[in-house]
């Protein structure tokens, strides 16, 4: 072996093979940085021929940002050092190439006469790493940073808090009613809307990294150098004005609002996770309070959030312990004054707090999804009780039950309703389901669902009409039997001419569509007079009777009492 390696011919063959057959590109550069030789055709890598590169300064290939570091590497190599560096060069056609270079001095008689440069094209690897980084730190649909990126950036900002004068404000934004947009127009339109919203928000949070898409329809923004409460309010008002102009998607104009929760830095104890959590908590409070607004986090909000979690746990426990019961409010025919129906209203008999009204627990049940099992229980109990009254010899009348949006979203809801009717042996015509206007926004699905209900023989009414999205244009295509005018219109019909006009118009138009009209929240004799004058069909409210437990409702039905007719 030694004899072979000492053989000059063998050494020449070995060197030739190492140089010309090496999988790495190898270039020889003189002391002035000019190409002397390269071991392969450079065209594939650089776009230049051997003749074009011969004598050309290596620096002519360098990207501007790599120039200084590469020159330093060459100087250190000429001083006898072996170096390794990632650099960027430009192909002859202008596109960038990422290279890893290793340099060693080229020696002759112990003097450095040039540099040997080993090239490895790492462009593909860099692209792959960038793609992985993008997937880890950016949202692929909007191109915005994601939660991880935003959280890390916020931590960096907090670490350098001594460098700025004012406070940092974290804004957590939620798009109002986005699920309804998806349900009505499809996910593609929903995605387009999110991208357009991201574009508007980018103009408000222009600094890179200060805006992120957190998840779904939620975004987070970072405001820097907030001076005081007035400054923050001014900026938030400006943000809300961004959404005054409608979005146009596929020829449809959508008026979209956002809700915003805000948290601001307090001092050295701040951390990114805590600030985001506070802003998110404030956002949820805004949505509970009616949306399309902003709110700064406070300790009161945190207490409320804890109360909500506790409440949701108690609701789940109450379902297991059968703590819920139904009250019934009669519905009166305004022409005859007789009771022609009852609405089932859920109440919670808490073991410690007593009777809990629905306004205190229904929102928590809706948000947690517990409204689905609760609504199913209400439906079954209302049907069972109505059949029990009929079996006791009382005149059959329908019982109305509210159907929540979450229940509507269930796949086999029609099957469940049919099973309950079969189990309780209640004739379907004595069950009426009250749906919200928001359900009818998804016209295609609503039409199919309501037709299946109608085929089942169940009555259908629109609850709280006038407060939501539906119109008479859509309603005429639905198999609906009646509308319930929301109590907010009925309340002020004697004082507010606008409400009086709305109520009379709803009654007239509904009658033109052969729909019955029920007025909710009727409390005074004057309201009854107005409704009778405008030929409203039915009424429900404290003027007739408050909601009653089942035994008292049974007594009222047996008494066959009627609404006073002499007013």
What ranges make up the beta strands (E) of 392-521? 399-403, 431-436, 459-465, 482-485, 516-519
Beta bridge partners of 436: 463
- Give 429's DSSP letter: G
Per-residue pLDDT band for 303 (boundaries 50, 70, 90) equals low
Strands 538-539 and 516-519: parallel
17 pLDDT above the threshold of 80: no
* pLDDT exceeds cutoff 90 at 288: no
- The two structure tokens encoding residue 345: 């209203």
The Cα–Cα gap between 534 and 439 comes to 28
- Cα-Cα-Cα-Cα torsion 44, 46, 47, 52, nearest 10 degrees, comes to -120
Residue 1: which pLDDT band, with cuts at 50, 70 and 90? very low
What tens digit of pLDDT does each residue of 250-274 get? 777 888 999 999 999 877 678 889 8
Confidence of residue 545 (pLDDT cuts 50, 70, 90): very high
Q: How far is CA 449 from CA 422, 429, 461, 464, 470, in A?
A: 19, 17, 13, 19, 16
* Per-position DSSP letters for 146-165, written without gaps between them: -HHHHHHHHHHHHHTGGG-S
**Which structure tokens are listed for 281?**
């908590």
Q: How confident is the model at residue 486 (pLDDT cuts 50, 70, 90)?
A: confident
pLDDT per residue as tens digits for the range 404-456: 888 887 878 899 999 999 999 999 999 999 988 777 666 677 788 888 989 99
What mean pLDDT is predicted for residues 332-361? 91
Q: Is the pLDDT of residue 552 over 50?
A: yes
Phi and psi at residue 171, in whole multiples of 5°? -110, 125
The pLDDT of residue 13 is above 70: no
pTM for the complete prediction? 0.54
Whether residue 366 is predicted with pLDDT greater than 80 in this model: the reply is yes
Q: How much is the pLDDT for 125? A: 85
Query: What secondary structure does DSSP assign to 488-552, as a single string?
Result: HHHTTTTT-HHHHHHHHHHHHHHHHTT-EEEE-S--SHHHHHHHHHTT--EE-STTT---EEHHH
Report d(CA 499, CA 491) in Å as an integer: 9
The whole-number average pLDDT for the span 154-170 is 79
Letter string b/e over residues 422-438, b meaning 16 or more CB atoms within 10 A of that residue's CB: eebebebebbbbbbbbb
What whole-number percentage of the chain has pLDDT above 90?
47
Over the stretch 507-516, which tens digit does the pLDDT of each residue have? 998 898 899 9
Which range has the worst mean pLDDT, 5-9, 49-53, 198-202, 540-544? 5-9
| pLDDT value for 201 | 94
Residue 567 is predicted with a pLDDT of: 45
Q: What is the mean pLDDT of the chain?
A: 87
pLDDT at 45 over 90: no
């Amino acid at each position: 072996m030694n004899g072979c390696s000492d053989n000059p011919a063998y050494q020449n063959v070995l060197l030739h093979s190492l140089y010309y057959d090496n999988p790495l590109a190898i270039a020889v550069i003189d002391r002035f940085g000019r190409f002397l030789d390269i071991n392969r055709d450079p065209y594939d890598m650089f776009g230049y021929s051997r003749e074009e590169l011969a004598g050309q300064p290596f620096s002519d290939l360098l990207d501007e940002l790599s120039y200084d570091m590469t020159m330093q590497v060459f100087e250190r190599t000429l001083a006898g050092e072996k170096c390794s560096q990632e650099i960027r060069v430009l192909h002859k056609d202008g596109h960038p190439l990422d290279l890893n270079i290793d340099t060693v001095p080229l020696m002759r008689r112990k003097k450095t006469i040039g540099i040997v440069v080993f090239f490895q094209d790492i462009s593909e690897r860099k692209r792959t790493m960038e793609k992985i980084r993008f997937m880890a730190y950016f949202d692929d649909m909007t191109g915005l940073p994601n939660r991880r990126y935003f959280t890390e950036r916020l931590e960096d900002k907090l670490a350098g808090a001594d460098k700025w004068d004012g406070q940092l404000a974290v804004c957590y934004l939620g798009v109002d009613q986005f699920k309804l947009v998806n349900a009505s127009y499809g996910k593609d339109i929903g995605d387009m809307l999110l991208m357009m919203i991201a574009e508007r928000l980018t103009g408000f949070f222009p600094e890179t990294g200060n805006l992120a898409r957190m998840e779904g329809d939620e975004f987070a923004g970072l405001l820097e150098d907030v001076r005081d409460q007035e400054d923050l309010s001014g900026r938030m008002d400006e943000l809300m004005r961004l959404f005054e102009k409608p979005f146009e998607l596929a020829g449809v104009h959508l008026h979209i609002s956002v809700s915003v929760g805000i948290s601001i830095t307090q001092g050295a104890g701040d951390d990114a996770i805590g600030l985001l959590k506070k802003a998110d908590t404030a956002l949820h409070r805004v949505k509970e309070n009616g949306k399309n607004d902003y709110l700064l986090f406070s300790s009161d909000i945190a207490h409320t959030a804890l109360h909500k979690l506790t409440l949701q746990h108690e609701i789940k426990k109450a379902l297991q312990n059968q703590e819920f019961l139904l009250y019934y409010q009669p519905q009166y025919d305004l022409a005859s004054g007789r009771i022609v129906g009852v609405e089932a209203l859920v109440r919670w008999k808490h073991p410690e707090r007593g009777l809990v009204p629905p306004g205190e627990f229904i929102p928590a049940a809706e948000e947690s999804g517990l409204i689905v099992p609760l609504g199913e229980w209400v439906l079954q109990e209302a049907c069972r009780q109505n059949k029990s009254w009929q079996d006791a010899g009382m005149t059959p009348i329908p019982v109305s039950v509210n159907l929540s949006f979450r229940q509507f979203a269930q796949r086999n809801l029609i099957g469940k309703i049919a099973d309950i009717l079969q189990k309780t042996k209640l004739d379907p015509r004595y069950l009426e389901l009250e749906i919200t206007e928001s359900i009818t926004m998804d016209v295609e699905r609503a039409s199919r669902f309501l037709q299946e209900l109608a085929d089942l023989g169940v009555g259908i009414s629109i609850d709280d009409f006038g407060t939501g999205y539906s119109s008479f244009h859509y309603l005429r295509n639905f198999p609906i039997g009646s509308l319930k005018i929301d109590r907010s219109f009925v309340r002020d019909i004697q004082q507010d001419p606008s409400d009086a006009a709305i109520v009379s118009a709803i009654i007239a138009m509904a009658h033109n569509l052969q729909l019955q009209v029920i007025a909710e929240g009727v409390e005074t004799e004057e309201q009854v007079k107005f409704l009778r004058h405008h030929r409203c069909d039915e009424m429900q409210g404290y003027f007739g009777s408050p909601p009653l437990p089942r035994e008292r409702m049974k007594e009222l039905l047996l008494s066959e009492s009627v609404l006073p007719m002499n007013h």
